[in-house]
Amino acid sequence: MNPTKPKIQSILFVCWGNICRSPSAENVMRQILENSELNDVLCDSAGTISAHQGNPPDPRMTAAGKRRGLPMTGRARGVTQSDFERFDLILAMDRSNLEDLKHMAPNDAAQAKIRLFCDFCRTRDAKEVPDPYYGGAHGFERVLDLLEDGCEGILEHLKDC
């Protein structure tokens, strides 16, 4: 643990509708944390829009996740102002989500918590997690590959904090 870095105790994953990428990231991260000594880190997900409020993860994403042993739990919700206080790290799936979050952030301290998810990828060179909603089954698998890589990188980052 690094005494100069603030300890991260909560992570919010954010995409557009909160039915594909961000709930999948939440489920991947929870599974990784359950198998680590950091299983007390809070994980949640939200969307920059509220159009899918209350919906479970997309059935195609759920099927892809379950093939990898993920529970794929959660219900879509929009980002709230209290999220900027509640979460220590807020991870945007793409640059559009990043810009939306920066505009929503109430102050500089909140903006400092916002980062791109792919900043934590270790083996993949993607800069953004692509939205698989309008693509085929391969897109959901690619997203899960990126999420698994990035979440392993997040775990390393958490251990460093």
Phi/psi at 42 (nearest 5 deg)? -80, 130
Active site residue 115: no
Which one is catalytic: 44, 58, 100, 131? 131
Q: Please tell me which residue in 20, 21, 30, 151 is annotated as part of the active site.
A: 21
Question: Which amino acid type is present at position 88?
Answer: D
Under DSSP, is residue 96 helix (H, G, I), strand (E, B) or coil?
helix
Whole-number Cα distances in Å, 110 to 17, 40, 84? 21, 22, 5
- Set 15, 43, 121, 151: catalytic member: 15
SS3 54: coil
Phi, psi of 72 (to 5 degrees): 55, 55
CA distance 89 to 92: 10
Let me know if 131 is a catalytic residue.
yes
Q: Cα dist. 85→31, 107, 133 in Å?
A: 24, 10, 30
Cα 30 from Cα 151, distance rounded (Å): 9
Is 145 annotated in the active site? no
Joined tokens for residue 113:
């918590």
The residues assigned a catalytic role are 15, 21, 131
